[in-house]
Structure 1
Amino acid sequence: MKLRSLRLRLLFMALVANALALAISGVGLVYLFERHVEQRIDSELETYLNQLAGLVTFSPDGAATISTPLSDPRFNQPLSGLYWQVGEDARGTLLRSRSLWDATLALPRDTLGNGAVHRHELQGPGKVPLILRERSITYRTAGENRTLRVAVAIDASEARTAARAFAGDLIPSLVLLGAVLLAAAWAQVQLGLRPLEEIRRGVGAIRSGHRRRLPGGFPEEVTPLTEEVNNLLDAQDKAMEQARASAGDLAHGLKTPLTALAADARILRERGEAETARNIEEIAETMRRHIERALTKARLRSGQRIATPVAPLAERLIQTIRKTPLGSALQWENAIAPHVLAAIDPDDLAELLGNIVENAAKWAATKVRLSSAAQGETTTLLIDDDGPGIPEKSRTAVLERGVRLDQTKSGSGLGLAIVGDIVEAYGGQLALEKGPLGGLRVAVTLPAATATPHTSRH
């Protein structure tokens, strides 16, 4: 399973690295502690060894004795784990501590230099592992030299028990340290990834129309990314301007032939050829609509999302259409809230509302109303008329074919195909419903915007 989150990847790597480092540190600390305990034990045994060597005396008959018992009470406690023994190679074991009871320490057969101290690990009473320190000492008695092997041993499990106790105390501390390190790694990851989060928010602000470019001031590692994003936006703006210029040139180039066709149609109508004139006019109108739609699509390929106030633009459209024969006889109501902003280019919004309002004016009986509804991150624009509307069966069929109402029978709302293209380009939705005025309701849902609004050019 692959971790797709960069944050999770970094935290996982930090967790593994910290766990491995703490485990190695824990094992190393326990080992060092155990070595330290063993060194202390060796030092303690050597101290006992020196004391024992100094307490050995000989009676007039040559028997070895201990003049004073060693101070540690464990030497007098049977099988206490702390033992001493004095022996002679020729005569075997001479003396031993009470703690050995009836056992003896099986010293290894090695050659000891006079005064040299050797260390051994062997089994003692009850096969308990022991750490033993021994020393060979030569004593002068009654005119002869006698060499004794003096040994002191202690239960080796004491070091292991101390190491286990140390490990038991160490583990909670390492766990706490690991938690602190993981929290520090999390804070480091959060701080390190914050520029990427700021870039994400910046791109979102550009997408919603709050900004036009990413700001500067990012760390040098992500600055190339922000520069590339801004360069891409510059290229997009340039492409949009070129598309608009090409659209204007195309519209200019086709305007004269369409005007000529309209003039020819009037001439034919004056000559009494009304059917031919009507056919020419329908062809010219169809060509005009297709050109408008193609030009709109070309411009939408690089449109920008700009925080655009809807109410003033809608009011200007209403005032314009009121001056036409279609709109002069109608009652108009602009109920769009003044604060409503849509994340859409003002030109695109003007064309979108213009087509819907024109269609409503064409089919309304007496009234057209514009209103709005805010729904979280979207804004819905509602255009109602009291005309004949569209039957529910026809509305469903039209929507399934991509809102191409200009391909159905005449009177179904020319221009809504262009509206559908604009809405789709901005990630919105278009719905046709039965309106409260009795006619058609066109509901357009667009991304909302909350930034400082763009000043419309209309």
Structure 2
Amino acid sequence: MNCHSLRLRLVAGGVIAILIALAVAGGALVVVFERHISRTLARDLDVHLKQLLAGIDVDPQGKLVLTQTPVDPRFADPLSGLYWQVGDDRGQVLRSRSLWDSAMTLPADRLGPGETHQHEASGPGGQRVLVAERAVTLSADGKPVIVRLAVAEDLARVSAATLAFAKDLATALVLLGCVLAAATWIQIGVGLRPLAGLRRGVGDVRAGRIRHLPSSVPPEVLPLVEEVNALIDAQESEIERSRGRAADLAHGLKTPLAALAADASRLRERGERAIAQDIEAVGEAMGRHVDRELARARVRGRARGSAPASTPVKPLVGSIVATLSRTPDGGRVRLEDLVADGVCLPFDRTDLAEVLGNLMENAARHAAGRVRIATDGSRPSLVVEDDGPGIEPNQMSRVLERGARLDERGGAAGLGLAIAQDVLDAYGWGLELSTSELGGLKAAIAPSPALLEKLSVTAENAVPSTTVAQA
């Protein structure tokens, strides 16, 4: 996928947003879970503290006694992580068996009557423990005794539970991220689908199947469609004006060329044959250029936006043969019409006549005595062959390169082939040159590979094998 792809940018942005959102959500959930565990732990400590408070007393000798201990068995297990400790203001200390031979260091804060303080402290073995403590006042021999009770639990339990939750949460978030990424890909594909339709519409406009892009698009794409349609209209108007100017120019040159030909005839009558021949050659070359521009002006834009055309080839070839046989070049060669009946080509009749006329005239001009016009049964094409000198194979590959024109290279092929190529280009067809079995040049008009594939599909679906439908 191209790095400038809009889809790639949207997918990358969506994935980054998903990763950030999941990271923030994961961190927040871990913090919330840790706080929830801490609050649960604090409530458990408060229960243990109340049990401890219910069993503390002072005997007649003033010693602290514990009539009942908290019921949790971890208090009797050394270094179990759950501890209690009781001390008074006279230095007496009672502690759970779980503390073994150590004592908890409690902060020197003042506890009000009935207040419970919670804080972190250092426990046995360097453990970090959460301590809940409370102070009560007891009486010994009529004297008040302040007793400080504390219950603590190792915070490693909270850390272990938080770590386990974070691992499970990470797995769930990874799966959620994959689902969201797939959903993002699908969403972007659905969102960009109108652009794919727009691309196909532009292809249809370029191929001539439609004149404008359809306006049944989402509102976000509609301004672009309207601008493209306006651009198409402006381009068509400019092309039409250019065609008109080219046609006017070509027609304007017809009269001077006719006058020049008349002047050449008068010079020939006066005996100035060399000058007359030069003038006629120049006039003929200029006339061929005019004919070429007229043909280009006529076919430019016709393949797009016009109704599909289909011209029977057999009658047209017969008409051109009848006309060409009355010319000096056509009269000296044998014109063989081998075109099968019922064959049609997707061209306007005038344009196809322009192509065939130039190809057949060029063949008659260079043939030694034979010109053959035939169709190729294996594909939609029309072939014109002669038995003349032909064109060198290396020259054929050069003259058919994109942008090249045969008339610009000189040689046996003149403007006739260039005019034929211009007309064929307007329809998406091409001119293929090779050596004929007759010994001369073989010129075949055939569709491009992409157009030929479309024609084959159309022919398989509904078109007889002897007819070529409009692509």
Q: CA deviation at 1:232?
A: 1.6
Other-structure match for 1:355: 358
Q: Supply the distance in 2 between the matched residues of 1:399 and 1:371 (Cα, whole angstroms).
A: 21
What corresponds to 1:417 in structure 2?
Answer: 418
**% identical aligned pairs:** 44
Aligned to 2:157: 158
SS in 2 for 1:385: strand
1:323 partner amino acid: A
Which residue number corresponds to residue 8 of structure 1? 8
**Alpha-carbon distance in structure 2 between the residues aligned to 1:209 and 1:336:** 28
Pick which of 40-49 and 302-311 moved more: 302-311
Q: State the partner residue of 1:57.
A: 57
- Shift, 1:386, TM fit: 3.0
Residue 249 of structure 2 corresponds to 250
Contact 1:214 1:230 in 2 (8 A): yes
Contact 2:311–2:344, Cα closer than 8 Å, also in 1:
no
Q: Aligned to 2:279, what secondary structure does the other structure show?
A: helix
The alpha-carbon deviation at position 428 of structure 1 amounts to 6.6
CA 1:432–1:309 in structure 2 vs 1: closer, same or farther (change >3 Å)? farther
Given the alignment, which residue of 333, 336, 360 partners 2:338? Answer: 333
- Equivalenced residue count is 446
User: 1:299 Cα deviation (Å)?
Assistant: 6.1
Partner SS, residue 119 of structure 2:
strand
- Of the two structures, which has the highest relative contact order with CA contacts closer than 8 Å and spacing of 6 or more? 1
Structure 1 window deviating more from structure 2 (346-355 vs 111-120): it is 346-355
1:119 aligns with 2:118: yes
Q: Is 1:261 equivalent to 2:253 in the alignment? A: no
Pick closer, same or farther for the CA change 1:429–1:322 going to 2, 3 Å. Answer: closer
Find the aligned partners of 1:185 and 1:381 in 2 and give their Cα distance: 49
Question: Structure 1's 346 and 49: CA in aligned 2 closer, same or farther, altered over 3 A?
Answer: farther
Partner residue of 2:136? 137
TM superposition shift of 1:332: 1.8
**Partner letter of residue 25 of structure 2?**
S
The 3-state SS of whatever aligns with 2:339 is: strand
Which runs of no fewer than 5 residues in structure 2 stay unpaired? 464-468
Q: Describe the SS at the equivalent of 1:119.
A: strand
2-structure distance, mates of 1:144, 1:316: 136
Contact 2:81 2:153 survives alignment (8 Å): yes
Given the superposition, is the C-alpha separation of residues 413 and 294 from structure 1 closer, same or farther in structure 2, using an over 3 Å criterion?
closer
Are the equivalent residues in 2 in contact too, given 1:297–1:421 (CA < 8 A)?
Answer: yes
1:195 corresponds to: 194
SS in 1 for 2:44: helix
> Would the alpha carbon gap of residues 42 and 222 (structure 1) be closer, same or farther in structure 2, given more than 3 Å must change?
same
Cα shift readout 1:98-120 (whole Å, capped 9, x = no counterpart)? 11111111111111112211112
Is the contact between residue 292 and residue 415 of structure 2 (CA under 8 Å) also seen in structure 1? no
How far off its partner does 1:82 sit?
A: 0.2
Q: Distance in 1 between matches of 2:398 and 2:126?
A: 95
Change (3 A) 1:32 1:341: farther
2:133–2:150 Cα contact (<8 Å) kept: yes
2:440 corresponds to: 439
Which residue identity is paired with 2:180? L
CA deviations on 1:312-333 (whole Å, 9 max, x unpaired) are 2644541331221336851223
| Displacement after TM superposition at 1:384 (Å) | 3.3
Q: RMSD between aligned alpha carbons?
A: 3.4
Amino acid at match of 2:405: V
- Is 1:367 the counterpart of 2:366 in the alignment? no
SS of the aligned residue for 1:369 comes to: strand
CA–CA distance in structure 2, aligned partners of residues 346 and 36 of structure 1: 87
3-state DSSP of counterpart to 1:131: strand
Gaps (5+ residues) in structure 1? 375-379
Alignment of 1:47-446 (within 5 A): 47-93=47-93, 95-296=94-295, 304-305=303-304, 312=311, 314-315=313-314, 317-326=316-325, 329-334=334-339, 351-364=354-367, 365-371=370-376, 381=381, 383-388=383-388, 389-395=390-396, 398=399, 402-405=404-407, 408-409=410-411, 411-422=412-423, 430-444=431-445, 446=448
Structure-1-length-normalised TM-score? 0.86
Shift of 1:7: 0.2
The corresponding residue for 1:377 is none
Distance 1:212 1:336 in 2: 34
SS at match of 1:19: helix
Hey, what does 2:466 align to over in structure 1?
none
Alpha-carbon distance in structure 2 between the residues aligned to 1:112 and 1:81:
25
User: Secondary structure of the residue that 1:415 maps to in structure 2?
Assistant: helix
Distance 1:316 1:22, change over 3 A: farther
Query: Is the 2:324–2:361 contact (alpha carbons within 8 Å) kept by the matching residues of 1?
Result: no
Q: Contact 1:336–1:370 (CA<8 Å) still a contact in 2?
A: no
Structure 1 Cα separation of the partners of residues 180 and 273 of structure 2 = 89
